[in-house]
Amino acid sequence: MAKIPQTRNKLGVVTGGSFVKGLNARLDQSVEDIRVGKFVVIRGVKHEFFSMVTDIVLEATNQKILIDPPEGDAFVHEVLAGTATYGTITLTPRLMLPATLEETLQPVRTIPSHFSSLYEASEDDFTLVFGQEGPTSFEIGRPLDMEVPVRINLERFVERSNGVFGKSGTGKSFLTRLLLCGTIAANTASNLVFDMHSEYGWGATAESGTSVKGLRQLFGSEVRVYTLFHPHSTRRRSGVDGELVIGLNQVEVEDVVPLQDELNLSSTATESSHLLADRFRERWLTTLLDMDSEAMKEFAEANGAHAGSLSALRRKLLQVKRLGFVQDHADFSMVDGMIAKLEQGQHVVLDFGGYDSALAYMLVANILTRRIHRRWEQQTHTYQDSGNVADKPRQLMITIEEAHKFLNPTTARQTIFGTIAREMRKYGVTLLVVDQRPSSIDSEVMSQLGTRITALLNDERDIDAVFAGVSGSSGLKAVLATLDTRQQALVLGHAVPMAVVVRTRPYDEAFYRAIGGGRNHRQLREDEGSIDDLFA
């Protein structure tokens, strides 16, 4: 059997350590040539270990040298370096490399012996670990110190819910665009994107001031862009596939629960809403908003409610009725049309346009996702009963920003998004949650996220939340703390064989060409009308 190529640069030798706390290695070179997050290979007697550097330490054979250091004498420094003074690194073995091309990667169950040689990981090693280029093997970025692709498995990515985290300005939206482009190009799932800030459908402006293409420009009619109806909008909507209207008859009690913080609802609001829904069914909200004080008093006396609570609930839910896209009654034809596109393998971006409030975003996202989940659940049961592959629902990934508003500990157990996160792939619907405060997301939901892609975070609570349930997280936390504020991320979880820090792939003309979706203005004008006229 053919041996795997071994072209590596030696860095040092293993001098100690443990399986739980990691290994220690003495360096043969300057510590300044090593950085936290670097990947190395330890060549043991029987196995090779693909490992990550998690710490760097300065050591000395004699502590007297450190008590009275030879200041300013470069010659003495050079004489001492590597003999009396030296550097060590802490390593965490992540995988055991196969001895031959015919074997597979193995989880680490042992450690190498004393004085095992330590080598810089080669391009061959990275290809072996992160896979070769393929239809569902997508390049997310490259290691910090090498020019070799790091790829994620898109089929494994979409089958579980995932998270993109990072503080404001670290490039979460660009990371999300990369992932969406990958799943669309590979055809691994349909995508529903709740586009709160108009960043994904059509072109957007990067923080550098340059324009970047949206999903519709890259993939044409494969991506459908809808927007919310605005009664006073003067925008020309020739490039929009439809305007969504929400009826008060479509709002269920479960859609009110996540709005507690936005509307400052009391703890009795949910109970009062349920009493109304039990009595008036789908007309519960319309009836409440039409009630006067006498009607509320009469209802309260007849149903064991509190008239004051009903009055407060009515006053606060009037904010829902004032939203421009909300009408007294609407059918589900537009929503059902969007669902049909998703079932057919197309992708839908709902652009919130001028509605940048969390109230509008959360209300619409809940109503649409709840109906979609019911549809996918029904299809799954049909498929289970028939066994016919044609009845199997298409994999669907729903992208939500400001995810903690839907998935905080108070509401996660009561909302459809919490249900989807917990059920994972049971019904073929998963989430891509995008957030800058992962600590505000329910811990049970965080534990269900298959893959986590994390840019720089500063808050200790957010960092702890990202690594909840991850073995060897102490070393990874140190790695995360060293990330730059832009275009760097730590990727770990179900879609990658091991945690890895990458320079994220640039979202530029080269990416457009590589993804196979770059379309010029003439093509876009012929197919969809002028993008320049879209928001004139």
Q: Is the pLDDT of residue 2 over 60?
A: no
Six token digits for residue 433: 């949650």
- Asked if residue 149 is part of any domain, the answer here is no
| Chosen domain end from 295, 321, 347 | 321
Residue 522 has pLDDT above 60, yes or no: no
Instruction: Report CA 508 to chain centroid distance, whole Å.
Output: 20
How much is the mean pLDDT over the chain?
A: 86
Owning domain of residue 299: 249-321
Q: Residue 490: pLDDT band by 50, 70, 90 thresholds?
A: very high
Residue with the bigger pLDDT between 514 and 425: it is: 514
Computed over its alpha carbons, how large is the radius of gyration of the chain?
28
Nearest Cα to 93, choosing from 15, 18, 12, 30?
18
> What is the value of pTM for the model shown?
0.86
What is the rounded average pLDDT of the residues 384-410? 92
Residue 289 binned pLDDT confidence (cut-offs 50, 70, 90): very high
17 falls within a domain: yes
The last residue of one of the domains, among 302, 321, 340, is: 321
Percent of the chain at pLDDT above 90? 55
Tell me the per-residue pLDDT of 191-214, one tens digit each, with 9 for 90 and over. Answer: 999 998 888 988 776 666 678 899
Closest CA to 524 of 180, 221, 183: 221
- DSSP code string of 375-402: HHHHHHHHHHHH--GGGSPPPEEEEEES
What are the residues whose beta carbons fall under 8 Å from the beta carbon of 135, sequence distance 6 or more? 186
Q: In 3D, which of 494, 496, 490, 509 has the Cα closest to residue 144? A: 490
396 and 306 belong to one structural domain = no
Same domain for 270 and 353? no
Q: Is 22 helix (H, G, I), strand (E, B) or coil?
A: strand
Q: Which of 280, 302, 321 lies at the terminal end of a domain, its last residue?
A: 321
CATH code, domain carrying 200 = 3.40.50.300
Per-residue confidence band for 527, with pLDDT thresholds at 50, 70 and 90: very low
Q: Which of 48-57, 164-173, 190-199, 351-360 has the lowest mean pLDDT?
A: 351-360
Q: Is 138 a member of any domain?
A: no
Assigned domain for 497 exists: yes
Indicate whether 462 and 397 sit together in one domain.
yes
Task: Report yes or no: 224 and 431 within 8 Å, Cβ to Cβ.
Answer: no
Please report whether residue 143 resides in a domain: no
Helix, strand, coil shares of the chain, percent, nearest 5, are: 40, 25, 35
